[in-house]
Amino acid sequence: MSIQKFIDYLLLEKKYSPQTAVAYQKDIEAFQLFISQEFSESEISKANYSQIRSWIVQLVDRSISNRTINRKISSLNSFYKFLLKIEVVAVNPLIKHKALKVSKKIQIPFSETEVVSALNGINPETFEGLRDKLVVELFYSTGMRRIELVQLQIQDIDLSQKHVKVLGKRNKERIIPLLPSVINTIESYLLERLKLESIKDPSIFFLTKKGTKVYEMLIYRIITGYFDTVSSKVKKSPHILRHSFATHLLNNGADINSVKELLGHSSLAATQVYTHNSVAELKKVYEKSHPRNLI
């Protein structure tokens, strides 16, 4: 019962997305199953830190990454904070827990040339080709997340005001400007969209050729498919295109706070992970330009 109350709290009060709430629920239920099997403890509220440590050890033994383990423990910590809030427990057993160390993964963005090459490799003469071109253009020109793009509705696109309304994490809305070139592609896409034989839900912006809503894996395949032919980078995904959006803006002098708002980040720290590339670019300019280095 407490777990369901917590999920309701995340959805109704914290305004978390259903996907995020489900992820929390799975992590908490996995721990509940563990203590019931290993310690014959059916009440998760009675678990102690020693039992949580045993779960962590088991996860490590199963070769689960430290990053994933930290996420699971974070879910559990949020749950115990909630139990503390509603006075089900007197102490959070994770109050003194320290997260496992994780190596920082530097995600290399696509270059501007690679983005242009990928767009040039798309044939916009078909509905799917035009849709795919728009998918790449929107990711690169707005920095939106994959789920945000999938959930876009017709009413979110305002061509008269030249912007798109995006519903981000915790149902937080943000407005992102649209470039003239992207508006042209949107107008062409909408005309082709009208020619589809059947549309299951007219409110959905991005559709398959069968008239159904696109899904996250399809969007992932679209990005990897076109960028596989132009980039040798190991990681190719919608997130890397979002990463490229932020990095290229910073490289060209954009204010980091503005980039933060465009990305929909709640804190500046989340945006600062993109600055390492702009610093690298700055170093190149510095080394090429400083008179002491030219001697």
Residues with active-site annotation: 145, 169, 239, 242, 265, 274
Long-range Cβ pairs for the range 232-238 (8 Å, 24+)? 233/108, 233/110, 233/114, 235/107, 235/108, 236/110, 238/139, 238/145, 238/146, 238/149
Tokens of 91: 């102490």
Residue 60 to residue 101: CA distance in whole angstroms = 12
DSSP classification of residue 101: P
Q: What would the two tokens of residue 286 be?
A: 């510095």
CA-nearest of 30, 17, 14 to 78 is 14
Among 39, 54, 44, 38, smallest CA distance to 76 is for: 44
Which of 154, 163, 142, 178 lies closest to 261 in space, CA to CA? 142
Tokens, residue 282: 């700055």
Q: What's the rounded Cα separation, in Å, for the pair 38 and 45?
A: 16
Q: How many Å separate Cα 211 from the centre of its chain?
A: 25
Which two three-digit tokens encode residue 249? 């803006």
86, containing H or E segment: none
